[in-house]
Amino acid sequence: MDLRELERKARMYIQLETGEEFRREVEELLEREDWEALNDRFFADLEFGTGGMRGIIGGGFFRMNPLMVRRATQGLANYILSQGVKDPSAAIAYDSRRYSRVFAREAALVLCGNGIKTYLFEDLRPTPELSFTVRHLGTTAGIVITASHNPPQYNGYKVYWSDGGQVVPPHDKGIIEEVRKVISEIRSMPEEEALARGLLTYIGEDVDRAYFDAVRRQVIRPDLFEEHGGEVSVVYTPLHGTGRMPVETVLRGFGIDVFTVPEQADPDGDFPTVEYPNPEEASALELALSYARKRKADVVMATDPDSDRLGIAVPDGHDYVLITGNQLGALLADYIFSSKKEMGSLPERPAFVKSIVTTNLQRKIVESYGVECHEVLTGFKYFAAKIREFEEKGGPQYVFGTEESYGFLVGTDVRDKDAVSASILTVEMTLYHRVQGKTLLQRLEELYRQHGYFEEILTTKTFPGEKGIQVMRGIMERLRTDPPLAFGDLKVVEIRDYLDGTTLYLPLGERKKNIDLPSSNVLQFVLEDGSVVSARPSGTEPKIKFYASCTSPVKDSLEEAKREVKEKLEVVQRQIDGWIPA
C-alpha cells in the first residue's frame, strides 16, 4: 500500500478509536515509521463475514478493537431496525478472552444507542447459554464475544438471530451489507443513561437456572445417576474459560465426583498453562491427564474457552488415550439412539445431523437404529437452520448432531454446539457402559467390528497476511482445474464441488447439479472404497483445512483393518502435503 494512503488510514483510525490503549499502539507505530507493521494492520478492514468476525487483538482496521466492534454493532443495529421488528432486543454474552468484557459492553451501548433493548450477562458465560438465552428471552438477535479455541492474541464477534442459531441467509448477507456501510456514523449511549431508560438490563442467575434445567432434560437415564452416580470419577478442565461454573453445577447436581484442574479452573485470557486452549490438542490436556492418573479417573473432559467444544480422554490399560471428535460423536450417537429406542422415547421420524466432513461411521450407526441421517455444511449455524427447516416443514424431529471438530448438540433448546450438555451425556454414557462391564474403548471397538473401521486425519495450514489469501485461492483453483484422479491405488470416483453444487461422476464422465446445500468453497474427493478427502479454506481465519477419512471393513481382525487404513492415510497425507506450497 502507498505510504501516504497508509498514513491516512492510520490517522483516521486514531481519530475514530475510543479505546486509548488501541489508539496509542497505532500512534507509536506512526512515530517509529514502522510501515511494515502498519501495513499489516491497515492493508484491509477486518472482514465481517457470514459467521461474524475474528482477528488479532490490537489497533488498526485489520484488528479486533473497540472501533471495529462498534462498527459491526452499528451495522447489526441498522439491519435489525430495517426488519420492522416491534420492540427489537438483543442478548450479549462473552468469554474469558482479553478485552471480551470491554467489547461486550461497547456492543451493548451501541445497541442501546439505537433504541434496541439489550440484555448483557453480568459476567462471562458459555456460547451455548447465549444461544439458549436468545430463545428463552425472545430477543431479535444475540452476540457472543469469543474467538473460541484460537490462540490468546485473538478475539471475535459472533451474531445470532431470533431462532438461537448463528445468522444464515438472508440475514447474514443483509448484516454484512449494513456493516460495510458504517464508517464513523456510530450511535452509542452512556451506560448510566441506558440503565435509567431501561434499555440495558444485566442478566445472570435467573437465566442460568433455566439453562441448567434445559441441560438436565437431555439426560436419558436419570435413575442411572441415582443408583450409580457415585461410582464414576471425572477429571475436568475448563482451560481457563467459561466452563467451570456450568459444567460443575450440572455434573455435581447428578451426584458426580468431579475434580476440576485447579491450575486451569479460573478464567484467564492469556491461557498461561497451554499453548492453545483447544481440547482437540493433546498438549492442552496434559495437566488434566496427570491428575487423572493419580485419581484413576474414569473419564477426562476439557472444554474450550467459550465451552461449545468438548474433548475427552479415557483409560487404556495403564494410561489414557484421547478420543477424537469423530469417535466421541460416534459413541454418543450410538448411546443416545440405542437408549431412546430401547426406552421407547424415539420420535416417529428421528433425525441425526452431521457435517459433510464428519466420519461416515456415524451415518452407519444411526441408520442401524432406523434414524434419518442429514448432512450440512461445516458450522453449527447450518445445524440450527436444519432444525428450523424440520420444524417449519413438519419433517423429521432432530435428536442429536455432531461435527468432527468436537462439536455436539443434544436436543433443540440450544441451537449451537453445547459442551455443557455433551459433558453430562458423556458421563451418563460412561456410567452406562461401566455398569454393563464395558469401557468406552471396548464399545468403540464393537462399533468398528459391526460397521467397519474408520480413521481420520486433519491437516491445517495457516497463511497469514495479504499474500496468504492469494495462496489459499491458488490451492483451491489448482484442485478444481487439475483435480487428483487417484490416491495411490485408490481411484477417485466422485468430485463434489460445494461451490457450484455439482458432483462429477468420473467413471461416467457425467456432472450433475445435485448438492442441495448453500454454496461453500469446499471440494470433496470420494474414493472407490468409500474413503473421502476434503479441502476447505476457513471463512473466519487465514487457514485452509484438509480432511481425510479412510475406511476398511473388519474381516479377519480389527488390527488388520487398522493397518490397512493407516497405509491409506499415509498415501493421502503425502498427496495433501504436495498440494501445500513450501
List the catalytic residues.
148
Q: Which three cell numbers stand for residue 71?
A: 462498527
Residue 333: which of 309, 359, 315 has the closest Cα?
359
Query: What is the 8-class DSSP label of residue 57?
Result: B
Cell of 579: 498440494
3-state SS class at 50 = coil
Give the torsion sign (CA, 239, 158, 524, 514). positive
Closest C-alpha among 153, 151, 149, 170 to residue 161: 170
**CB count in 10 Å sphere of residue 327:** 25
**CA-CA-CA-CA torsion for 485, 503, 565, 543, nearest 10 degrees?**
90
Give the integer Cα–Cα distance in Å for 402 and 220: 18
Residue type (1 letter), 347: P
Residue with cell 484460537: 150
Which residues on neighbouring strands pair with residue 492, listed in sequence order?
527
CB 412, CB 351: distance < 8 Å: no
Q: Measured between alpha carbons, how far is 330 from 334 in angstroms, rounded to an integer? A: 6
Residues 6+ positions from 323 with CB-CB distance below 8 Å: 311, 312, 313, 314, 331, 440, 444
Name the 3-class secondary structure at 493. strand
HEC profile for 190-228? CHHHHHHCCCEEEECHHHHHHHHHHHHCCCCCHHHHHHH
Report helix, strand or coil for 179. helix
Nearest 10 degrees: Cα torsion 492, 497, 502, 505? 0
Is residue 122 within 8 A of residue 101, CB to CB? The reply is: no
Cell 498461561 belongs to residue = 272
Give the H/E segment covering residue 81.
Answer: helix 66-82
- C-alpha cell belonging to residue 344: 421407547
468-472 — which CB contacts under 8 Å span 24+ positions? 468/542, 469/542, 471/581, 472/537, 472/542, 472/544
Please work out, in degrees rounded to the nearest 5, the angle formed at the alpha carbon of residue 130 by the alpha carbons of 390 and 538.
75
Nearest of 235, 213, 207 to residue 423 by alpha carbon: 235
